[in-house]
Amino acid sequence: MSLDGGGTPRMTRLNSMKPSERMKIPRQQPLEQDATERSTNFLEVSLGFDTDRSVIEASRCLECKETQCTDGCPVGIDIKSFIQLVLQKDYVGAVNKIREANYLPAICGRVCPQESQCESLCVLGKKLTPVAIGKLERFVADYEMKNNLFQSPHIQDHHKEMVAIVGSGPAGLTCAAELAKIGYQVTIFEALHAVGGVLRYGIPEFRLPKEILDLETERIRALGVQIYTNFVVGRTATVGELFDEWGFSAMFLATGAGTPTFMGIPGESLSGVYSANEFLTRVNLMGAYKFPEYDTPVRLGKHVAVIGGGNTAMDAVRTSRRLGAEKAYLIYRRSKEEMPAREEEIHHAEEEGIEFLLLTNPVRILGDERNCVSGIECQKMELGEPDDTGRRKPVPVKGSEFVLEVETVIEAIGQKPNPIIQSTTPGLDTGKRGTVSVNEKQATSRPGVFAGGDLARGGATVILAMRDGKTAASEIAGYLRSRNGDSSGAK
Amino acid sequence: MFPIVQKTSLAPTITKYVIQAPFVARKRKAGNFVMIRVDEHGERIPLTLADSDPAAGTITLIVQALGKTTKHLSSKEAGDTILDVVGPLGTPTPIELHGTVVCIGGGVGTAELYPIARALKNAGNVIHTVIGARSKDLVILEQEMLGCSDAVYVTTDDGSYGRKGFVTDQLKDLLGSIGPVHAVYAIGPLPMMKAVSTVTKISGVKTYVSLNTIMVDGTGMCGGCRVNIGGQMKFACVDGPEFDGHLVDFDELMMRNRSYLEMERQSEARWHQCRLTGEVRPA
């Protein structure tokens, strides 16, 4: 294999170093808040790269001709080009290059699972360590923010059609930005009092500061997008009414997967048992970590058990730690290898003193005479034959039951879509687990209505939701053009 | 921002607010509720809609000042605003022609019962209304209820007005005196709804109750409002708030509703302190 990327002509290279020299540079490590210190505050864990580290890291890029990194990006960011701009210290040029494909770089630079996407395909990673693409993305976005260098893109076309976006999470925000950029009149309807969906109520401050989310949102408003908060589509107005009475021509449904599921074990109604959604919403959206300055309380004992192995479970257990839990357990029925959470989050959780109880399954929550949680009974598991997901199925070990003394139990075992829209919209086909059915164009069974993100997927990542939002935007534009009799854009 | 258009005191601690919220007003049905947040630091709380005027774009809330948030709300005057109002939420009350219906309101629950009684009356039912309160000064909406009922009975715990006793005393008499009763709607404190459901279970009369639970978002997201209905977990905010009274596990719900008692007291004490010292936080 040719290390210089398959014989790219020398003249297109910006980096004067030979590939062999570049490969000697170690992957740069971001600055991080000390683990002991950060487990008592809600400030951001990773402090990201500074300019020096960014330029060094950018110089590691081999500038391959075949940009596999871009193939690994769900929204197709031109990664090589933006890294070349970093190398030239044109950070604003770099962030604008990203923004061509992704309107929320400061968010994706923080929460995207780069290790399983772009970075997993980086040629450098085959023998060494991949370029820290995510940290570079975050750096250029932060640089632009800190230096107040953002300029709203010039909108050339103007269309009279109005498009409604339902839900202001990553899918909705992306779809809104993409449609507004090409001149459509876009209105977002958000059920909660604040914008962002899961980015607001779900992802904690220490992973995604709300200030960043607010700024990214302001940039979407700057495109002329109107946002109604406190508006529950299906209740405040139905999908049908938005078309017939409000005059929208098309709609993108992106209400996420916000309904929590419970294990169905005894004791779930005890005081001190939370869904991760409720726990995180109290803390992130309602500011319960600042109680009593903020009115919303959260009940947290000294010993907390979080059930689950995904990113939501990591967020909940690390939040518990920050709220003062002396013992914060993470109970997961499979082994660490099967955990769906990001490596970085698992690693951070371990550093913060979270105790992982793996191959452990809760069977019953115990309560005291005041109906408050006093413990959780678990059984040990062992891995058996692979199940239909290909992961080895955990089976209980007989006689292995034990009781863990805890005062708080948080269940983070998955969410499903909120049923309000599905139940109030005739002609909208739904699939398994309450998702809205879509085709490859994100179109639903109802003409003019598109859907995406977790509402259609049932529980995935921020970036896949954004990809759906982007696809839907271009399909909605095609749909509106074809409705106007212009077949050029219609597919 | 949602302006308070009118504020009227109905009884000590019980206030009626008419609030500008045109989208909610257009869609409100009997049994719906809204979530409100008074200011930036405030909690989201559910409040049942007592009425609405779609033409004027207003909704009516009747609220008893009991905790921090409702007391904070009661410090607001006409012309002031509430930061957030979202709704109408919940599944509306199914309004059917049952025949003879007994509507029972306990305390401020009478305000939640009123739109339901009115809708049931309009659907052609014969309505016998029972209003229960601790004492005379806490009896609300008697005139309004007279306007949509065939008969209204008042009970007070202390006997200061109407019959001395509980709503269940009146209910038992009605079940034995007015011929067949086809349905009972009871809204009030949980112990009252539990007592009513116990009485009607014996005679097998279908009984609807409206549950007040812990709630954060009110749209099915948090699961804090989960209730045990006939052994199944339901969310009061989307599956309810009305349920078959004979299937509700009231004891479990009453225990759950005490989860934050201590913190609510702390929050309220702090608020009073701030008011006394003049350090009312900015709205």
A418 vs chain B: nearest CA distance in angstroms? 7
The pairing of strands B100-106 and B126-133 is parallel
pLDDT beyond 50 at A4: no
CB contact under 8 A, A235 and B27: yes
A163-176 average pLDDT score: 97
pLDDT tens column, A200-216: 999 999 999 999 999 99
What is the distance between the alpha carbons of residues A46 and A142, in angstroms, rounded to a whole number? 13
Contacts of A237 in chain B (CB under 8 A): 23, 27
Q: Which residue type occupies A51? A: T
Cis peptide before A292 (omega within 30 of 0): yes
A262-279 average pLDDT score: 96
According to the model, what pLDDT value does residue A387 have? 83
Q: In chain B, whose CA is at the least distance from the CA of A276? A: B222
Q: Which residue has the higher pLDDT, B183 or B67?
A: B183
Best mutation target among A231, A233, A238, A295 (most B Cβ atoms within 10 Å) is A295
pLDDT tens column, B219-237: 999 999 999 999 999 999 9
Average pLDDT, chain A: 92
Q: Which residue type occupies A55? A: V
Other residues' Cβ atoms within 10 Å of the Cβ of residue B111? 26
Best mutation target among A187, A230, A242 (most B Cβ atoms within 10 Å) is A230
Q: In chain B, whose CA is at the least distance from the CA of A294? A: B41
**Angle at Cα A265 formed by Cα A264 and Cα A266, nearest 5°?**
125
pLDDT beyond 70 at A284: yes
What is the distance between the alpha carbons of residues A271 and A367, in angstroms, rounded to a whole number? 8
Q: Which residue has the higher pLDDT, A152 or A331?
A: A331
pLDDT beyond 80 at B245: yes
pLDDT beyond 80 at A457: yes
What is the distance between the alpha carbons of residues A258 and A274, in angstroms, rounded to a whole number? 14
Nearest by CB to residue B24, choosing from A236, A268, A292, is: A236
pLDDT tens column, A60-93: 999 999 999 999 999 999 999 999 999 999 999 9
Q: Which residue type occupies B119? A: A
User: What pTM was estimated for this model as a whole?
Assistant: 0.92
C-beta of residue A194 within 8 angstroms of C-beta of residue A281: no
According to the model, what pLDDT value does residue B28 have? 95
According to the model, what pLDDT value does residue B279 have? 59
CB contact under 8 A, A418 and B228: no
Dihedral through CA A302, CA A308, CA A309, CA A314, nearest 10? -40
pLDDT tens column, A221-246: 999 999 999 999 999 999 999 999 99
pLDDT tens column, A31-54: 899 999 999 999 999 999 999 999
According to the model, what pLDDT value does residue B280 have? 55
pLDDT beyond 90 at B25: yes
Q: What's the token pair of residue A344?
A: 């970085």
Q: Which residue type occupies A86? A: V
Between the CA of residue A431 and those of A269, A393, A447, A456, B4, what are the distances in Å?
Answer: 29, 25, 17, 9, 43
Nearest by CB to residue A191, choosing from B219, B222, B263, is: B219
Spell out which chain A residues touch chain B, with contact meaning CB-CB distance below 8 angstroms.
191-193, 201, 229-232, 235-237, 258-260, 262, 264, 268-272, 274-275, 277-278, 281-282, 286-287, 291-297, 299, 370-372, 418-420
Give how far the C-alpha of residue B154 lies from the chain's centroid of Cα atoms, to the nearest Å. Answer: 18
Band of residue B242 on the pLDDT scale cut at 50, 70, 90 = very high
C-beta of residue B196 within 8 angstroms of C-beta of residue B167: yes
A261 vs chain B: nearest CA distance in angstroms? 8
Best mutation target among A166, A193, A293 (most B Cβ atoms within 10 Å) is A193
Q: What's the token pair of residue A95?
A: 């962030």
What is the distance between the alpha carbons of residues B236 and B240, in angstroms, rounded to a whole number? 4
C-beta of residue A229 within 8 angstroms of C-beta of residue B85: no
ipTM higher than the 0.90 cut: yes
pLDDT tens column, B71-119: 999 999 999 999 999 999 999 999 999 999 999 999 999 999 999 999 9
